[in-house]
Structure 1
Amino acid sequence: MDGTLVDTEPYWMRAEHELVESFGGVWTHSDAMLLVGSGLLGSAAILQNRGVNLSAEAIVDVLTTRVQEQLASAGIPWRPGAHELLSDLHGAGVPMALVTMSEQRMARQIAGIVGFDAFTTIVSGDMVQQSKPHPEAYLTAAAVLGVDAAHCVAIEDSIPGVASAVASGAVVIGVPHMVPLEHSEHYTLWETLAGSSVTSVTALYRSRRSTLLSGTTYIEDATPA
């Protein structure tokens, strides 16, 4: 969700800065980048090390509330092509799950503003025992959808997110945003979701599955066409 569908990372960074500053600490852009794609409880531990004298659960609550306030006032900043791809997949009847390490209340806020019932299920950070890069969230989503994760396509923007999706066995598309993603045979890099469609996602899935079954190496970095 964050950084893949919607560009909420600046909202999170602002909330983190405000929280650390309220305890007399200093929070830099480099500090904020350490948290991109990570589970909220793990991020809370880093904030505690920067002087935030609150429990991890309280930190998560404060940050989530502040980001939700910004979403309510400034709106949903969609990433290029994300809403269009959701619409195309929904129109084609493709079941979708929203897999995020944000809290369920925030995920439901964003899902409710999509404009249509895009997601069959939501798997959020407060619903799993293991945060990304552990594959639990993606495996849980696949189970709810009633399919093997190997027959799913996961779209991610962060290093922990990509690692989680790859570990689940899904076909993975990495769309870098705040943090660069390395080239790898384990996933495909797209520069953007702009121009993507059910056709391009399906073509990639078929190509990756065919390659995996044949046991050959696959490295492709491209913009969807």
Structure 2
Amino acid sequence: MLFDMDGTLVDSEKLWDVALRELAAEYGGTLSDFARRAVIGTSMAESMRIVHDDLGQPERDPQASIDWINARILELFRTGLRWRPGALTLLRAVRAAGIPTALVTSSGRPLVEVALDTLGRDSFDAVVCGDEVDLAKPHPEPYLTAARLLDVPIGRCVAIEDSPTGVASALAAGAAVLAVPAEVPIAPIDGVHQVESLTAADLELLAALLGEPPA
């Protein structure tokens, strides 16, 4: 099992919204709703490029903005991280069944370490962070890396994602994909099963996505 983090397991996109809009205000501007949606699921570098362009300030240093956002979001994660509906129950069921499990996120390692205080460090056999791969989502590298770390063929993995960017990454890698849209709608895609919430997902559904008979 390959779980995305932001918007999939935890309701963190609202915290990112706070941080991104505060950054825009710090720069004397207002982040458009279009730009806010566009950054969901992207790498930090790409997110800052989108934000800077949206503010009409493309000359700004992306790393300086990344450092600002990271510091602020760490504060928010420590106090306001909440599970998405059904996520904890599904994760516990997967772990109880002994299924190899990885966290595959575009967030950087320092932020993920804080999130793991909520998610549980023993909830995952492997963790792939956005700053630990050469190519971020929507490239397939994050999911291919996770499957390699689990020593499971990617075609035997189910990836759970909330964004079009993440879905594209998982599909390109060759995983079965369960989409659970959070902040951004995901257009219907052949081979991608969608649910409104992870309360509608269970081990039987995950097995079905891999073409396996129910247990």
Could you tell me whether the CA contact under 8 Å between 1:19 and 1:52 is conserved in 2? Answer: no
In structure 2, C-alpha distance between the alignment counterparts of 1:129 and 1:122, rounded to whole Å: 15
Q: Which amino acid aligns with 1:180?
A: P
- Ranked by relative contact order (alpha carbons within 8 Å, sequence separation 6 or more), the top structure is 2
Q: What corresponds to 1:172 in structure 2?
A: 177
2:146 to 136, 141, 154: 141
Pairing 1:3–2:2 present: no
1:69 to 49, 57, 75: 75
CA shift at 1:52, angstroms?
A: 7.6
- What is the root-mean-square deviation of aligned Cα atoms in Å? 1.7
Distance in 1 separating the partners of 2:49 and 2:121:
36
Instruction: Give the gaps of 5 or more residues in structure 1.
Output: 211-225
Identity %: 38
Shift of 1:151: 0.8
Range that drifts further, 122-131 or 59-68 = 59-68
2:27 is aligned with 1:27:
no
Quote the residue 1:121 is aligned against: 126
Query: What is the TM-score of this pair, normalised by structure 1?
Result: 0.86
Residue aligning to 1:130: 135
Range with greater deviation from structure 2 (166-175 or 111-120): 111-120
What is the aligned residue count? Answer: 207
Matches within 5 A, 1:88-99: 88-99=93-104
Shift of 1:63: 1.1
In structure 2, the partner of 1:106 is 111
Match of 1:222?
A: none
Q: Distance in 1 between matches of 2:203 and 2:71?
A: 34
How far apart in 2 are the matches of 1:33 and 1:190?
A: 20
CA contact (8 A) 1:23 1:53 kept: no
- Aligned-residue offset at 1:168: 0.4
Q: Contact 2:125/2:150 (CA < 8 Å) preserved in 1?
A: yes
